[in-house]
Amino acid sequence: MTLGSLLFEAAARLAAAGFEEPRRRARGLFAAALDCDRAHLVGHPERELDAGERERIAAFLRRMLAHEPLSRILGRREFWGLDFALSKATFDPRPETETVVEAVLKELEDPGAPLRLLDLGTGTGVLLLSLLSELPNASGVGIDRIEGAAATARGNAAALGFEGRARFLVGDWGGAVLGGFDGIVANPPYIPTPALASLPPEVRCHDPRAALDGGADGLDAYRAIARDLPRLLVPGGIFACEVGEGQAAAVGEILAASGLLFAGAAPDLAGIPRALLARLPRRGGRIQKTGWKRERSRLGLRCGGLVEKRWVPRRALEASGSVTPPRTRMRRSPP
């Protein structure tokens, strides 16, 4: 059987089962199963597939028809241009989480400093390891409640060559570590418990519940984390987290109640406020926000009481070849 006819048949089966964009999905599946790029599929429809290739495609297609995401089938996910292994214990990292990495990098005053980072709810370790890939002298700790997730993150750190700068522990948020962190990142579970049942099967059946369930209103993890931030951060240290759609203002209030100052919010590629940034006030000093008014009126952006910064994730910038758009700067007044 030829590549072209098998591809046509697979797309037809996906379409009949109600999958959106069946041709694109089928091409992704074939490229992964045959370990080739999509251009090869289009350019060689007449190629005869051997029995091993046909079996591999059939096995992948069965799993896709059962709503298993391709990243789960392959056990791998690309994030921030790096290759991460997944496991049953880990959340499958989503592209929008790159917004958090981008926001932190833009906020750091000295990327060459020996920064100490903490990643709460680390999963595969994507947030910490992506930051370490950009910050040559930084080191960090990733914490997850699930032992299997910490083990997967350790494996990713070793495979990416960061084992000397990253440690992964099992724990309940930051309870097991002492303070002194210059930056803390988190992408905690934020789906309200009543909404879990209506998630698509690709999410509900394959991401661990511990990675999704944010309690009755979706905000339990933010409350737990925020309580500990003043102890964990150095004065002037930054906290960045991902938030669910419509949660930015509520999470902002939780952070403010813990004494943190807002440093901004960044939208993802869909324009949804996705990353929130806050700072612990510096001792004897005051953080001034400059350019807020001008930025607000120019962009006309608001989310709750927060003004958003127009940051665009790196992938989008690279795709468009454009330069970093203007942003609001943080300045500290002299003590």
Residue ranges that bind ligand SAM, judged by CB under 6 A? 91, 93, 97, 121-124, 126-127, 143-146, 149, 172-173, 187-189, 210-211
Amino acid at 145: R
Between 156 and 187, name the residue whose CB sits nearer to ligand SAM.
Answer: 187
| Closest approach of ligand SAM to the CB of residue 247, in Å | 13
| Closest approach of ligand SAM to the CB of residue 86, in Å | 10
| Closest approach of ligand SAM to the CB of residue 257, in Å | 19
Between 27 and 313, name the residue whose CB sits nearer to ligand SAM.
Answer: 313
| Backbone φ and ψ of 246, nearest 5° | 80, 5
| Closest approach of ligand SAM to the CB of residue 252, in Å | 19
Between 40 and 145, name the residue whose CB sits nearer to ligand SAM.
Answer: 145
| Closest approach of ligand SAM to the CB of residue 277, in Å | 16
| Backbone φ and ψ of 28, nearest 5° | -60, -45
| Closest approach of ligand SAM to the CB of residue 35, in Å | 25
| Closest approach of ligand SAM to the CB of residue 118, in Å | 11
| Closest approach of ligand SAM to the CB of residue 288, in Å | 31
Contact between residue 289 and residue 330 where contact means Cβ atoms under 8 Å apart: yes
Between 162 and 173, name the residue whose CB sits nearer to ligand SAM.
Answer: 173
Between 23 and 145, name the residue whose CB sits nearer to ligand SAM.
Answer: 145
Between 173 and 239, name the residue whose CB sits nearer to ligand SAM.
Answer: 173
Between 93 and 273, name the residue whose CB sits nearer to ligand SAM.
Answer: 93
**Angle, alpha carbons 203-206-212 (nearest 5°):** 55
Residue 120: CB atoms within 10 A of its CB come to: 29
**Angle, alpha carbons 194-195-201 (nearest 5°):** 130
- Residue 310 CA to residue 44 CA, distance in Å, equals 43
Between 53 and 188, name the residue whose CB sits nearer to ligand SAM.
Answer: 188
- Residue 263 CA to residue 233 CA, distance in Å, equals 15
Q: How far is CA 50 from CA 34, 36, 57, in A?
A: 11, 15, 11
Between 60 and 84, name the residue whose CB sits nearer to ligand SAM.
Answer: 84
Residue 147: CB atoms within 10 A of its CB come to: 11
Residues forming a β-bridge with 213: 191
| Closest approach of ligand SAM to the CB of residue 33, in Å | 25
